[in-house]
Structure 1
Amino acid sequence: MLWRDLVSLISVSEVETSDNVFELAETSRDVLADKKSVNRDEFYKAISNDLRPTVAFKIRAIEYAGEQRLKHNGTDYMIVRTYSRNDETIELVCQAFDDVQTNLALLRDTVEIWHNTFIENSMGESSPMEERLFTLPARVENRGGSSGITDGVIETTNNIIVTIRYREGITPDMFLKIGGQRFDIRYIEDPFNRHETLILTAERVVL
């Protein structure tokens, strides 16, 4: 086997920079690989999962540590599948980064995730108190809004789609803050159940 292609294996992770404030960090290392075409069977299996693999790289199994991305000749790829025929080599099936819907490089915005906790006063009464849980890198897309009258009060809504790295424990009773403005979470989606990202549909209501 000819190990004639140099690739960079890239790992993307969230790093806590301060109390519950996270940023994306990348680490990379170079390994030798054998570039291959994606066979027809692999291609059609991927199509059924809404993926578009374009190339595969075979490397020594001992050199792979679960990285999510790969770079070769200036092109960034997402590793969408791994396949090993034996204990010595592993095949990394890749898709061009621009074609990956869950491109983590697009998380250039910042959102805060909050929830309400309830505290009890001296009279035994409970009242809600807002508590910040996390500050996370995200992609925020505005989706417009609407206005209407409810009980004689004019309401204006602003809808957004927020993409974050997959994280367990995010629930619809939580809410977002962006630039000091509150957005209530309406829907949560895990694309293709791949546990890579979460897509949050959120709404801000202005009275």
Structure 2
Amino acid sequence: MRHNDVIYFLIPETREDELGQKIPTGNYNERMVYANQYSISQSEFYNASAQGLKPEKEFEIYSFEYQGEDLLRHEGTTYHIIRGSTSGEKMRITCEKDVGNG
């Protein structure tokens, strides 16, 4: 299957303070990745809802492309990554809308 969707992993920018500690600036760098979008299964939706999560989208990417990011953007909306599962060279990432970022 071809990866027909484009997602952007959001990497937080940081700056160093006078003590050398990394402080988030509130800005993000983006890294583009091609993905396949999948629907959330009914069982996954209800299992996640029981834990207070609201999964909305699931994407499949190549495993090597994921570097531990917490946020991604798809079609102008920011999503929080709530789960990732790897199967061979591919990985599925489950996301919920990031309420704080629209």
Tell me if 1:87 matches 2:84.
Answer: no
Q: TM-score, normalised by structure 2?
A: 0.84
How many residues align? The count is 99
SS state of the match for residue 91, structure 2? strand
Contact map agreement 1:12 1:68 (CA 8 A) in 2: no
Q: Cα offset for 1:49?
A: 1.6
Structure 2 partner of 1:19? 19
SS state of the match for residue 43, structure 2? helix
Where does the alignment leave 5 or more consecutive residues of structure 2 unmatched? none
**Which amino acid counterpart does residue 88 of structure 1 have in structure 2?**
E
- Give runs of aligned pairs for residues 131-150 of structure 1, distance below 5 A: none
Q: TM-score, normalised by structure 1?
A: 0.44
Q: Deviations over 1:142-170 (max 9, x none)?
A: xxxxxxxxxxxxxxxxxxxxxxxxxxxxx
SS state of the match for residue 43, structure 1? helix
Q: Which has the higher strand share?
A: 1
SS state of the match for residue 10, structure 2? strand
CA RMSD of aligned residues (A): 1.9
Alpha-carbon distance in 2 for matches of 1:56, 1:95: 9
- Give runs of aligned pairs for residues 1-207 of structure 1, distance below 5 A: 1-12=1-12, 15-19=15-19, 22-25=22-25, 26-84=28-86, 86-98=87-99, 103=100
Alpha-carbon distance in 2 for matches of 1:8, 1:45: 27
In structure 2, relative to structure 1, the CA distance for the partners of 1:41 and 1:14 (3 Å cut) is farther
Where does the alignment leave 5 or more consecutive residues of structure 1 unmatched? 106-207
In structure 2, relative to structure 1, the CA distance for the partners of 1:14 and 1:45 (3 Å cut) is farther
Q: Cα offset for 1:20?
A: 6.2
SS state of the match for residue 67, structure 2? coil
**Which amino acid counterpart does residue 53 of structure 1 have in structure 2?**
P
Q: Deviations over 1:37-90 (max 9, x none)?
A: 111121122112211011111101010101000101101100011112x22111
Q: Cα offset for 1:95?
A: 0.4
* Larger Rg over CA atoms: 1
Q: Which has the higher helix share?
A: 2
Q: Cα offset for 1:27?
A: 2.8
**Which amino acid counterpart does residue 64 of structure 2 have in structure 1?**
I
